[in-house]
Chains A and B, each alone.
Chain A
Amino acid sequence: MVDRTFRTRCLWGFVLLVVSPQILRAADENDFYRIVSIAVAEASDSRSPHWQPAPDGLVMEVSGLAALDDSRVAVAIRKGEIWILDGVYDDPPANVTYSRFASALHEPLGLLWHNDSFYVTQRSELTQIRDRDGDQVADEYLTIAKGWGVTGHYHEYAYGPKLDHDGNLWITLNIGLGLKGDQLRRTVENKTLGYRQGLWRGWGMKVTPQGEMIPVCAGMRSPSGLGANADGEMFYTDQQGNWVGTNTLHHMRSGAFFHHAESLASIDHPASPLNDVASVPNGLPFPDALKVFPQLVPPVVWFPYKKMGQSATDIMLDESDGKFGPFAGQLFVGEFTQASIHRVFIERVNGEFQGACFPFRSGFASAVLRMAQGHDGSMFVGLTNRGWSSLGAASYGLQRLEWTGKMPLEIKEMRAKHDGFELTFTKPIDGKTGSDPASYLMSSYTYLYQSSYGSEEIQRKAMPIRKATVSEDGLRVHLTVDGCREKFVHELNAIGVRSKSDEPLLHSHAYYTLNAIPTSE
């Protein structure tokens, strides 16, 4: 089932990529990570109520991605179908074939290949999809879990599933916004706090291999991305809005509460691991809110608004052992509005995760909603911007990001130290610029915890770098910093650092969420 027109358009994308003259710049992400367009639609008004897909071809608004083998990838689309694409690793991908595997799904926002089945989360249930008669088209749609509230409000998206190391399937559930009319009939209420939402709205759920659905943690607003790290611990991203100062990455574990207060509507349910919330502070700096709200846990990473995107999405662990470049074991986080991808380094300090985020790659054709690692280590990037907007103005598409083999100069890791931070680079830096404190700018700030939309950066303070010590191999630098503050974001701009061949950092910014300062060296 190949759409010739669609393919032709993709081909054009390639020709342009190759021949367009480029303005030379000191460093260009494209030199290190190259975007290959498998299928990209034309631009149209993503926010128009009359939005229409391109008149020809498959409406590939990618909402789920699963790499199947060394030539195929499966794609869930928002319209409610699963397609299998073959030939996606070809370069240029001129002979991709498309075949529809499943249909009639209600806005699936995830796709997992597991137990020889596809798993998708639809608006109202987790579904296992199989082809029993071997004709390559699904004929069985099994309901694995359901029971969360679906009031009918559009914002109640349901995401996942993602798999942990114990075989549990994880799901996250958006909060509803401004429910009214009939929607209110389908809600639960916590009368003490006065919150009303569909059951388990704003919660992270886990479905065991036996099919039991367990509510794990609450306080989510728009948790459109989730994923496990190398140890199988599960994380999710959230998006700026009411109660959420800016986009975040959180560690999902039992009883944790992250921020969006309306999810507390469900805590009277017997299955809730969270209870005894007497009141919710409103309008406090986040570090102060933590002190008065014991169930509230800080994010693993804050993504400062605009600087690190405007709407965080999927989480992808780099399991390629270096085939995707120098960042094996790190997490990549999709970014919707700015059509880009960020990178995250996390470490455990005092038993809890915290870490830093870095810009990684921009310039995708549309909003990045889904990522999946291919069998060659490259990254499939699923795109759709309908309903919102994105820098890449195409309506939807599928692209692949591959490492060119060239090593960028990047801050690979940023670790908290008792007296500051330690940076690890992807290649040796020059000792002179690296050890000059003036090569680094640092400031710290936090956000307001409040029911109104988003937050400015508050309590900003410049952080003088007292000393910068470069390791003998040039791969590390120890920054001694005065006045680090726990629970604050520490923004670093290593603007002056150069490699041994005088190359500047591809991205000089890093943002470390310092929830705890390690007590010893």
Chain B
Amino acid sequence: MHILIANVPIAVIFWAALAVAEESRPDPEDHRDRATAPVVAGFDRFARHGDIDGIQGGRLLLSELSCTACHSSGGAAAGKNAPDAKSSDKSPPDQQIAPKGGPRLHSAGRRYSQAWLAEFIASPHRVKPGTTMPDLLGSRPLQQRQEISRAIAAFLTHTQRAEYPAIKASGSTPVRFEFWNHGDANRGSEIFHSRGCVACHSSGADRPVSETSSSPVDALLDELDPEELEEMGLAGAARRVDSIPLGRLEAKYARKSLTHFLHDPALTRPALRMPDFQLSTSDAADLAEYLLTTYSLDGPGSGTSRSGASRSGTPSGGSANDAALVAKGRQWFNELNCSSCHDTSSETAKVEALPLSAVDASAGHGCLSDSPHRSVHYSLDRVQRDAIGDAIGGIQSGRTFTATEQLDGILLATNCYGCHQREDMGGVGRYRKSFFETEGHVDLGDEGRLPPPLTGVGRKLTSAHLTNVLSGKAAAVRPYMQIQMPRFSPDVTRSVPTLFAEVDQAHSVSEKQVFGDAAGLAEAGRELMDIGCVQCHAFAGNSLPGVVGIDLSKIGSRIQPAWFEEFLLDPGAVKARTRMPTFFIDGKSPRPDLLGGDPKRQIVAMWMYLKALPKHSLPRKIERSRAESYELDPQGQPLVLRTFMKAAGTHAIAVGFAEDVHFSYDAEQVRLATAWRGKFLDARGTWFVRSAPPAEPLGKDVVDFPSGFSFAKLSGKNEPWPLQSAVRFGGYRLGDGQTPEFFYRYGGFEVSDQIRPAGSNRAIDPEAKPGLQRRLTIAPSQAREKAQAEVVWFRALSGRGLQRVDDHTMRNEAGVMVSLPPSLASDAYVYEGDGMVEWRVPAREFPFQIEVDYSW
């Protein structure tokens, strides 16, 4: 099992938890007085308390109880629980009520225990109180109920056996063999209580909320009495929010099936009312393990471990599936019109009931009646019946629904309000907020740990970004937040961005219209980042040490320009209680020197800069701090870095000196490759970047030396310089003062080669720039019998043209100036050929020493 250091807070919570009263947990369902009424989160939280009207509440039930799967809300049959089902309804599509639908049953035979299926079908409200599945057998005698449900369970188990999806593994996606058997309940509990599950479901008995992390909002609510709450419009916020029941998961699922469901809920429940958190296989297994073996609504110490959960692939509780029973099950499945709500792989008939426009809501034997003979039994309570009646009345009176109501309908049905607040509705419910923390417990207030409010979101976010967020394609913008935004169904993804835009009156205004001509402002924007943005935000993955905040790069694809301007001018007016401060107090910029101190122009500049990331350089403060982490600063003693470099090649050795002069050495051609002054190198790419980018000199006055080998044995001084060489690099030693001394073997000689800053002449000339001094010693190798009378040539400098500066100094067209001791210079030879000029120094007596001064 994995124990990560990051788990420390959990352990703390765990310990703290033992001492905390049961009372502080989100409610277990057992106190509900409407014990078996179907639970529809939006209805229970808002409609029951009059926060939304009966018609809106009733419409919500018509979709969530899938009434409109049989009773079309317009003229013809509504779509089923299939994401892309197009309805041919006669009323405008935005006025229809799409039924949520039940689970797709193609693989029900593999996923659910047959015994549980039989029990559930026979008595859904008893087996899973709060379910939205109606009881279709309630009017029949007990024995017949059991026969029918056994037959349907046999039919499903025997015929609905679609394979589980094969899950692809790769270098970026670890998938353990039989991952569902390797879940860790402790990690599962952590996931359950931090990612967002407890926004809708009850927390487990193993994890009551710690008092220490209680929400400041809840603390405020605690201090007010009901009248005050009512007056302040906080009654909704003060209410406990009911939990969506999970039923007895261990009776229904095995490890494999629950893990697969959590990994990809859309496969069986495409309406995604239980949204897709895009869990990895191992997270899904951990969560399943937790839910099956440890999750319990009972108080601590009640010891209801459910270690009996089946480890095998198939849920337990098999029974005989003789052909006759299966055939009977198929028949009943058809007769009871199950396929109006459930997709299967079998051909099934579907019966349509009266459209809602024609039903009589007060009929004595209808779904809404109390009659024991009614064929569909939802276990509705009074409030629910009345609401549905209101909604049907609305439809029959031709009431149409505004965009605001349509949007609200979706936010209620998908329970967006379970996490998000919009205007004065919703948000993470009371006593649930404390579960949600910021990664690493950085204090970012509620903005850092609770999902963002949706008030005015249509004006803030671009439609494209909203679509990406809802469909799970957007990378997490708030990586510090533990609670996670899940993926919703394509239906929701398609309609919500448009409705937000319409309802929030977001006028799609182009950047040009908002900002005018903004060319060339990016650099000013970069400077403005340092007035404060860098203290809380990241920039293309870079931030000041310890800073966790929204990454501001890619803002252009997320945020609407008009909102950006409005928000920066006065953040508090746009977003209540935000931690984002105002930088333009009384309309004055802290940088009056930039762009005439005009806040609006400065905001444009910021926008342009953020859009230009990551190509534009990072804000100065971040650059400086990054340099502290990765820039090699050879204070005190020389520093060495082996790396790839453009001029020095793939065998480069860079050496930096405190004198602010540095060089790179090519250990393949064995030559001095590049020299520069000022700053040395940034090592980040070499140390930590997988793509192994070449390191680049950070400083100035960068000069490249000619490529090619430094030594050659020539048959005559006019022979062209060879392109191949038997030179063999031998490594380096760190001698006095840690300056590396390179050595190599060439043609029976051992060469040592040390390059260091040239002795300073600044006493004489304060403007003198430091150069490099090189000392080469050529000695016969020990293996060599005795020095032959041979010449080894050293190529001191080459170029297309060499200019003689004085009798022992030459300069090439790149500006490299080489000085030799006059004694050597007098023996040197200037070779010309193939458009090249080379200054060649012969070494004739060994050991031979060459001292070279480089300046540029």
A-side interface residues toward B, CB under 8 Å? 9-10, 12-13, 15-17, 19-24, 28, 30, 37, 40-43, 47-53, 55, 59, 78-80, 103-107, 122-125, 127-128, 132, 138-143, 146, 150-154, 186, 305-308, 310-311, 337-339, 359, 362-363, 365, 386-394, 509
Contacts and interface: CB of A to CB of B under 8 A. Distances in A.
A310 B688 contact: no
B5 interface: yes
B591 to A, nearest CB: 28
27 contacts: A10-B5, A16-B3, A20-B1, A21-B186, A23-B289, A28-B1, A40-B5, A43-B4, A50-B540, A59-B688, A80-B642, A80-B687, A123-B650, A124-B651, A141-B731, A141-B732, A150-B651, A152-B650, A153-B692, A305-B169, A306-B177, A310-B171, A362-B182, A365-B2, A388-B172, A389-B174, A394-B5
B397 interface: no
B176 A124 contact: no
A65 B11 CA distance: 32
A393 B690 CA distance: 18
B743 to A, nearest CB: 9
Contacts of A151: 650
B644 interface: yes
Interface of B: 1-8, 11, 169-177, 182, 184-186, 282, 289, 293-294, 307, 540-542, 545-546, 629, 639-644, 649-651, 653, 667-668, 686-692, 694, 728-735
B540 A23 contact: no
B691 A16 contact: no
Contacts of B688: 51-53, 59, 78-79, 386
Contact of A104 (B541, B629, B640, B694): B640
B171 A55 contact: no
Nearest to B188: A23
Given A23-B293, A79-B688, A104-B642, A365 B4 contact: yes
Contacts of B11: 15-16, 19-20
A363 B667 contact: no
Given A308-B177, A389-B171, 15 more contacts: A20-B1, A43-B4, A80-B686, A106-B642, A138-B734, A142-B730, A143-B731, A152-B650, A154-B690, A311-B171, A362-B176, A365-B2, A386-B690, A389-B172, A389-B174
A51 B689 CA distance: 8
B6 A43 contact: yes
Nearest to B173: A389
Given A337-B169, A363-B2, A55 B546 contact: yes
Contacts of A339: 174
A124 B170 CA distance: 29
A306 B178 CA distance: 9
Contacts of A48: 541
Given A142-B731, A154-B690, A306-B169, A17 B3 contact: yes
Contacts of B294: 23
A30 B5 contact: no
B651 A152 contact: no
A106 B170 contact: no
B2 A392 contact: yes
Contact of A13 (B5, B651, B668): B5
Given A53-B688, A124-B651, A306 B175 contact: yes
Contacts of B542: 50
Interface of chain B: mostly helix, strand, loop or mixed: mixed
A286 B566 CA distance: 65
Contacts of B687: 59, 78-80
A319 B297 CA distance: 51
Nearest to A186: B650
Contacts of A41: 5
A47 B172 contact: yes
Contacts of B734: 138-140
B7 A16 contact: yes
Nearest to A13: B5
Contacts of A390: 174
A305 B166 CA distance: 13
Contact of B541 (A10, A50, A338): A50
A24 B5 CA distance: 22
Contacts of B641: 80, 104
A503 B344 CA distance: 41
Contacts of A9: 5
A146 B640 CA distance: 19
A78 B684 CA distance: 12
A80 B632 CA distance: 14
Contacts of A42: 4-6
B482 to A, nearest CB: 13
A41 B688 CA distance: 15
Given A142-B731, A146-B729, A306 B176 contact: yes
A143 B639 CA distance: 19
Nearest to A129: B731
Nearest to A495: B312
A311 B170 CA distance: 9
Given A16-B8, A388-B171, A105 B177 contact: no
Given A23-B185, A50-B542, A338-B174, A393 B4 contact: yes
Nearest to A105: B642
A22 B1 contact: yes
A138 B640 CA distance: 13
B731 to A, nearest CB: 4
Contacts of A13: 3-5
A153 B690 CA distance: 10
A9 B691 CA distance: 30
A71 B414 CA distance: 59
Contacts of B8: 12, 16
Contacts of B176: 306, 338, 362, 391
A49 B541 contact: yes
A103 B732 CA distance: 13
B287 to A, nearest CB: 13
A143 B730 contact: yes
A85 B731 CA distance: 26
A142 B742 CA distance: 10
A243 B454 CA distance: 51
A49 B692 CA distance: 11
A345 B783 CA distance: 47
B252 to A, nearest CB: 20
A22 B6 CA distance: 18
- Of A22, A105, A124, A388, most buried by chain B (CB within 10 Å of CB) is A124
A21 B300 CA distance: 14
- Of B3, B169, B175, B639, most buried by chain A (CB within 10 Å of CB) is B3
Contacts of B651: 124-125, 146, 150
A393 B4 CA distance: 8
Closest 5 CB pairs of A and B: A50-B541, A387-B690, A106-B642, A154-B692, A104-B640
A154 B691 contact: yes
A12 B694 CA distance: 39
A124 B667 contact: yes
A231 to B, nearest CB: 31
Contacts of A21: 186
A140 to B, nearest CB: 5
A158 to B, nearest CB: 12
A102 B171 CA distance: 31
Contact of B545 (A55, A154, A365, A388): A55
Given A52-B688, A337-B174, A394-B4, A24 B307 contact: yes
A312 B6 CA distance: 27
A401 to B, nearest CB: 14
Nearest to A106: B642
A337 B650 contact: no
A140 B546 CA distance: 38
A336 to B, nearest CB: 8
A339 to B, nearest CB: 8
A67 B817 CA distance: 51
A242 to B, nearest CB: 13
Given A16-B11, A50-B541, A127 B4 contact: no
Contacts of B545: 55
